[in-house]
């Protein structure tokens, strides 16, 4: 039977340098001893397992399967808490609205909700008034706070967003859920650090990973409420920037969003958020029309964000206490609902009616303007809510009106009215949220209908490009490519380390150590015990502190530092440089991830400089 090259590599039958660049020697094949033969299959599987642990991708998968799943569980629980709180609050405010002696007093309900939200925020989370939208707050946590949110953020957001939406606020629950998930992602990082799960479960956990878990939390939140695990992972990694996305974070975000989706759907069902018929065939006219819808949607989107920020800035400049402003915004929004009742609340039913083509063109056009003003009042005044649902609402009304116009002008060509509504939804949010790809995937998942993916991509791309750099999220950074182009982040330690480093035994005398410094030219060394396991590190500075007469009798174990700054071969070179700068040391010891305490190399600042220069040259 022919054994493939890959199989022989996994079984350790030839040197790993033949197949990959690595600092490790392949395990040698031992001859079987009569009477001590082990089962071949078990032996092969064990060797594969050991070999796989050397591979960086396997290590990353192992780490993120644990950390990402933890965030997914917490994010799913957070989404459930939010939904239960919202479901509990809605009947309370509905009964308040029913008890009004005159229906025209309905505006008191959102005003009351706004007052409660203002007071809660003022005393519990005053910094929330500075963020135009919950997604802006989420982006700030990731970019400015490096993923560390205050513990009260998710719980305050659950309460305030539930009150805003239950009292009729014209906003969405998706953005608050993203912020709630980010907060729980930060809590997950604290759990890992305080319980030392990284040490217990043998994976590395850095400050950069804290930021990653915050992104995972956002994906978990969106994935749950949208029931869209794939699109939410893409959303969370791309909404941070106007252009580009953080591709390295897609895998952990996907794990978190899928976990959260399963937990949330187990309680709330796996049904799609919206229902849309399948469109197996579309014609050239459909593609041209969705392209036009995308361009028009970008114009309406720019109008939306100008109205939104105009109202937000007006409220920020009002010489009133911050806690009173959401009440005023709620009152004005409530008065608007007397004339346009469908702008009340999240508006999911209206979106579905637009998809089903149950609304006439004059009403659809009125809803476009009405929702822009209503959501700007609810959110821009300091209410707790998001702009995703209002954007989808406005886009649905716009796409529906343009579809009706096309059907009237070209009755034989405009044969897919639902497609135009969905295209309007995607294009409008893609134009102001700067997330064209993830929005297309999100809408396909929320409708369980991937037959519209091509028209959606066309419409979203058109809207994204036509809107330029206009964005409704002022916290977004400009370009992911420029910010993530850190070469050292992409280079594993195993590619730059010095193999077979000079080491000293713990019984070596200080005098012998100083002689070794002179002969080797090195200033620091890992200290090993009799079993070749690392027990500390020692430098020539430590040796110099020993009085001259005692140097011949003093062992290295008496002066070494037992606190070893180390990392594993699969970790990034950026991590190595951070450790060197943080601890003001000259080198970092690289340990074997399988055999505890075994030294496989060291990394110095000189190694990193050479590697950086080499990669820059090759690029």
Spatial contact of 141 and 104, defined as CB atoms under 8 Å apart: no
Spatial contact of 492 and 600, defined as CB atoms under 8 Å apart: no
Tokens of 616: 């820059």
| Neighbour tally for 199: CB within 10 Å | 11
Residues above pLDDT 70, as percent of the chain = 88
Closest CA to 332 of 114, 136, 482, 67: 114
CATH of the domain spanning 489-618 = 3.10.580.10
Closest CA to 55 of 19, 84, 85, 91: 19
Q: How confident is the model at residue 90 (pLDDT cuts 50, 70, 90)?
A: very high
pTM for this predicted structure? 0.78
Q: Residue 77 belongs to what H/E stretch?
A: helix 56-98
CB neighbours of 184 closer than 8 A, spacing ≥ 6?
A: 71, 74, 75, 77, 78, 154, 217, 220, 221
CATH class of 284-483: mainly alpha
Q: What is the pLDDT of residues 109-137, one digit of tens each?
A: 999 999 999 999 999 989 888 888 899 99
pLDDT above 50 (res 39): yes
Q: How confident is the model at residue 32 (pLDDT cuts 50, 70, 90)?
A: very low
Please compute the mean of the pLDDT values over residues 259-263 and round it to a whole number.
96
pLDDT above 70 (res 279): yes
The rounded distance, in Å, linking the Cα atoms of 357 and 209 is 46
| Neighbour tally for 518: CB within 10 Å | 9
Mean pLDDT, the chain, as a whole number?
Answer: 86
Q: What is the pLDDT of residue 5?
A: 41
Q: Which CATH number fits domain 57-268: 3.40.640.10, 3.40.50.10490, 1.10.3080.10, 3.20.10.10?
A: 1.10.3080.10
CB neighbours of 298 closer than 8 A, spacing ≥ 6?
A: 427, 428, 431, 462, 463, 464, 465, 466, 467
Please compute the mean of the pLDDT values over residues 300-316 and round it to a whole number.
95
One fold for 57-268 and 284-483: yes
DSSP per position, 326-348: HHHHHHHHHHHHTT-GGGSSS-H
Q: What is the pLDDT of residues 417-473, one digit of tens each?
A: 899 999 999 999 999 999 999 999 999 999 999 999 999 999 999 999 999 989 999
Q: What is the pLDDT of residue 16?
A: 36
The rounded distance, in Å, linking the Cα atoms of 400 and 398 is 5
DSSP per position, 390-445: HHHHHHHHHHHHHHHHHHHH-TTT---HHHHHHHHHHHHHHHHH--HHHHHHHHHH
Chain CA centroid to CA 443, Å: 19
Residues above pLDDT 90, as percent of the chain = 57
The rounded distance, in Å, linking the Cα atoms of 529 and 595 is 15
Question: Directed axis angle between helix 152-166 and helix 108-124, to 10°?
Answer: 170
Q: What is the pLDDT of residue 159?
A: 96
Chain CA centroid to CA 329, Å: 31
Question: What is the 8-class DSSP label of residue 528?
Answer: E
Q: What is the pLDDT of residues 501-556, one digit of tens each?
A: 888 898 888 888 888 888 877 788 889 888 888 888 888 888 888 888 888 888 88
Lowest mean pLDDT among 94-98, 263-267, 569-573: 569-573
The rounded distance, in Å, linking the Cα atoms of 56 and 391 is 41
pLDDT above 80 (res 42): no
Q: Sketch the domain layout of the chain as residue ranges.
A: 1-31, 57-268, 284-483, 489-618
Determine the Cα angle at 61 with ends 55 and 62, to 5°.
90
Q: What is the pLDDT of residues 45-81, one digit of tens each?
A: 555 555 544 455 677 888 999 999 999 999 999 999 9
Please compute the mean of the pLDDT values over residues 219-243 and round it to a whole number.
94
Q: What is the pLDDT of residue 79?
A: 96
């Amino acid at each position: 039977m022919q054994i493939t090259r890959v199989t022989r590599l996994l079984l350790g039958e030839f040197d790993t340098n033949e197949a990959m660049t690595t600092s490790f020697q392949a395990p040698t094949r031992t001859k079987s001893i009569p009477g001590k033969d082990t089962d071949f299959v078990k032996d092969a599987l064990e060797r594969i397992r050991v070999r796989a642990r050397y591979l960086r991708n396997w290590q990353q998968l192992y780490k993120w399967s644990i950390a990402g799943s933890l965030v997914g569980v917490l994010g799913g629980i957070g989404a459930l808490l939010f939904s239960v709180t919202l479901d509990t609050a809605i009947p309370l405010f509905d009964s308040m609205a029913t008890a009004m002696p005159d229906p025209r007093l309905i505006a008191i309900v959102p005003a009351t909700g706004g007052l409660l939200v203002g007071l809660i925020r003022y005393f519990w989370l005053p910094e929330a008034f500075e963020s135009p939208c919950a997604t802006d707050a989420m982006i700030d946590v990731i970019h400015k706070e490096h993923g560390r949110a205050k513990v009260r953020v998710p719980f305050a957001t659950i309460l305030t967003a539930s009150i805003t939406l239950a009292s009729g606020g014209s906003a969405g629950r998706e953005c608050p859920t993203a912020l709630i998930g980010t907060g729980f992602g930060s809590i997950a990082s604290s759990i890992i650090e305080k319980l030392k799960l990284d040490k217990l479960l043998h994976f590395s956990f850095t400050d950069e990973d804290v930021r990653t878990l915050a992104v995972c939390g956002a994906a978990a939140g969106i994935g749950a409420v949208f029931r869209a695990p794939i699109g939410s992972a893409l959303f969370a990694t791309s909404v941070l920037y106007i252009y580009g996305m953080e591709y390295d974070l897609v895998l952990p975000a996907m794990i978190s969003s899928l976990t959260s989706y399963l937990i949330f759907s187990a309680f709330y069902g796996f049904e799609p958020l919206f229902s849309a018929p399948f469109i197996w065939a579309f014609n050239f006219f459909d593609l041209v029309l969705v392209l036009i819808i995308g361009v028009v949607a970008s114009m309406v989107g720019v109008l939306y964000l100008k109205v939104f920020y105009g109202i937000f800035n007006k409220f920020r400049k009002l010489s009133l206490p911050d806690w009173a402003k959401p009440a005023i915004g709620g009152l004005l929004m409530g008065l608007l609902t007397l004339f346009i009742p469908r702008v009340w609340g999240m508006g999911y039913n209206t979106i579905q009616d637009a998809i089903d083509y149950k609304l006439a063109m004059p009403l659809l056009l009125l809803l476009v303007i009405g929702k822009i003003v209503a959501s700007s009042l609810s959110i821009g005044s300091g209410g707790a809510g998001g702009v995703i649902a209002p954007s989808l609402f406005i886009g649905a009304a716009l796409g529906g009106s343009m579809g009706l116009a096309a059907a009237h002008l070209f009755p034989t060509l405009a044969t897919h009215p639902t497609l135009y509504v969905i295209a309007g939804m995607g294009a409008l949010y893609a134009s102001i949220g700067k997330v064209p790809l993830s929005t297309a995937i999100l809408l396909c998942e929320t409708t369980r209908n991937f037959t519209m993916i091509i028209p959606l991509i066309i419409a979203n791309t058109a809207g994204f490009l036509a809107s330029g750099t206009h964005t409704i999220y002022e916290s977004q950074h400009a370009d992911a490519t420029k910010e993530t182009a850190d070469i050292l982040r992409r280079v594993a330690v195993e590619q730059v380390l010095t193999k077979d480093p000079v080491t000293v035994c713990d019984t070596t005398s200080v005098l012998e150590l100083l002689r070794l410094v002179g002969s080797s030219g090195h200033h620091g060394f890992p200290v090993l015990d009799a079993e070749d396991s690392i027990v500390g590190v020692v430098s020539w500075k430590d040796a110099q502190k020993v009085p001259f007469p005692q140097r011949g009798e003093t062992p290295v174990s008496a002066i070494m530092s037992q606190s070893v700054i180390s990392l594993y071969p699969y970790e990034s070179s950026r991590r190595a440089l951070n450790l060197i700068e943080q601890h003001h040391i000259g080198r970092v010891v690289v340990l074997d991830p399988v055999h505890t305490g075994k030294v496989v190399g060291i990394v110095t600042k000189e190694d990193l400089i050479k590697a950086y220069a080499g990669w820059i040259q090759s690029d």
